[in-house]
Each structure stands twice: as C-alpha cells, then as structure tokens.
Structure 1
Amino acid sequence: MKKYFIGFLVGAFFTISATAFADDIQSLVGKKVQAEYTVEVNGKVLNTVVVEGKNYAPVRSIGEAAGYEVTIDGKKVIYKEGEVMNTSSVNENKIAEKIANLNTALENAKNKVNETNALISKLKEQSKTADSDKSKKNYESAIAESEMRLAEYQQSVNDIESNIAELQK
C-alpha cells in the first residue's frame, strides 16, 4: 500500500511541477502579428514581424546578409567578423539548387503529360470498338477525366517553366 501511495505522490509532484514549468514558457503560437517590417542589409531585403510590441527578426539571415559567418553555440549566436562570407556565391548555389529541383519536377510533369496523352489515345481507340452505349459512355467519361488531368499536368509544366525562367534572370 505504501508503494502505491508513494507512486501517487511522485506522480502528483511531477504533474504539478510540469504544469508550473509550462506556465513559465511563453509561446508565440496563437499570438496576433501586429505589424510586419522589412529590413534591408547590403541590398538584401528581410522580413520581420512585431508580436506583442516586440520585433522578431531572422538573426542568421541578417548576419549572413551583412556578410558574416554565423554560428550557433548553445543559445548564443556568433558573428565572426574576420571571416566575411561571399553571399553572392551562396545565393547562386541556392538558385542553382532550386533550378535543378525544378528541372526534375519539370521532367516528371512532362512524363505525366506524355503518359496521359498515351492513355487518352488508347481510350479513344478502345471506345471505337465498344459494343454497348454503356461502354461508350464509360470510355467517354474516362477520356474526359483524363483530359482534365492532362490540363492540370500541362498547367504544372507551364508553371514550372515560368519559375525556372524567373530564377534564371
């Protein structure tokens, strides 16, 4: 019986201490953003927000935009003055990576377009040999559905191509 009582006390202690600890933690989740500001550092525009009168800014982005190497050590953010980074090469690498990812997505979307075109052609051929009106209606329905998917895939191709063109400017 003592074991159960001690177990109950320990459980109650942990429950009470956990809720007391949780009260100390201030969360931004659910808080209203009062304003948004932009910060320009060496021509790079960064966005910040104001929540409950405090401005929250992306510290790493600001440091990198200023040309510093930014490291995090525990809860400390360190800007290394002597080791200025070449931010233009970092940005070029990020853009090249995005373009490569978009090219992969573009290839996949084009494959979907080709597969859907082949399916539509096959369905049209099969509908010509359909025996009953019900079969013909089923084929027509499948063709219409495939043509809608084809339009979506073609729109994806167009969107991806425009994103690539925008990044290559």
Structure 2
Amino acid sequence: MLGNVRDVEQSEELRKALEYAEMGWPVLPGAVWHDGHFVDPANGEPTESAMLRPIDTATTDPDLIHEWWSSDGLQVPAVLGVTGPKLSAVTVYETLAEVILGHKWFATRPTPMLGLAQMPLAYFLVRPPVPVVMVRDDVRVLPEGTTLPLPPTAVGQAAASWLVSPEEAGNVLLLGDEFADMVAGLAQEGR
C-alpha cells in the first residue's frame, strides 16, 4: 500500500514545480518510485515510463501545474524538468564538478548544480545555447527533451538535491556557452 490520499495544496512538489516554472523551466509530473519500480501516483499501479505526460506538454503554465499536482491520488507526482529552448543541462563527473565548484570564476558566476545521491555525476543547469560537444570526455551536454528529476524528487534512495541551489545562483542560469568556455579553460590549465 502506498499510503493515504494526500493534501496536494500543501505539497512541496507543487510549490517547487511552480518555483521552477516561474524561473522559466518547463516541468512535467512524474511517476514515483515504489518497491523497485515506477508507479502512477494516482493509483499506485506500475507504469513503464517515469513521465506521466508526453514530453511535448512540459509547461511553465501555473494553472496547468496546479491541475497536474493537485489531482486526487495516493501520492504526489515527482517533479521533472525538461531540457529545451529555455533549459539545458551538462553532466560532469564528480571530480571535475568539485574543481568547477572551487574555481574562482564559478564563484562569481554560479549556475544551479543538481546532484543525485549515489551517482558520481553533477548536472549543471544552463541557459541555451550550449555547444553540442564539449572539449572533455568527462563532460556531456544532454539533448533537448531530456527529463531531469528536480528536488524534492527521489528515485529509490537516489534523492535529487541542489549542490548549488537556484537561489544561490540568483535564480539565473549561466549561459551555456560561458559554461563551456570555463570548462575549456580548465582543460587548458590541465585540471
């Protein structure tokens, strides 16, 4: 049993989905992880996809977000961000992510940085455009239409959390080209 019907108006997921949308990040409701598989939060039935809606319906519309996260059900849907014209993501292995976090340039020009527990990657959220290919093997640009679990979402024990929160970055995404230049500069420095 997944639990009781929840109070969706007070859910952290709804508040966060609205906050992300206000920053211009398109969101989708997602399935929740339960007993080793994704389930539909409305009825607890297993589902094949983590997305509860088609990718092209990702939205920043507060009315639609209220509707999606306020439906009756057993649990609150997960919050998924979707990369596209307003939001890009660059994955960086943990060791390089630590170097970037400590770099003086990043300290003055931060961008939100997402982590998933038990994963050796960090996700730097940036504003397009982003070069399709980076100069390093340990850095990868995620394609448009990629879903990202955003806090407070968790998949099993892998909870999404902010390593650099949107607030710490001034609720602004760094331009992807600027992030790429910083990574290229680190490569030239031998880091």
TM-score band by shorter chain is under 0.3
Q: Point out the structure with the larger strand share.
A: 2
- Greater C-alpha radius of gyration: 1
* TM-score, normalised via structure 2 length: 0.16
More helix by share: 1
Q: What's the TM-score, normalizing by structure 1? A: 0.17
Instruction: Compare relative contact order (CA 8 Å, sep 6+) and give the higher one, 1 or 2.
Output: 2
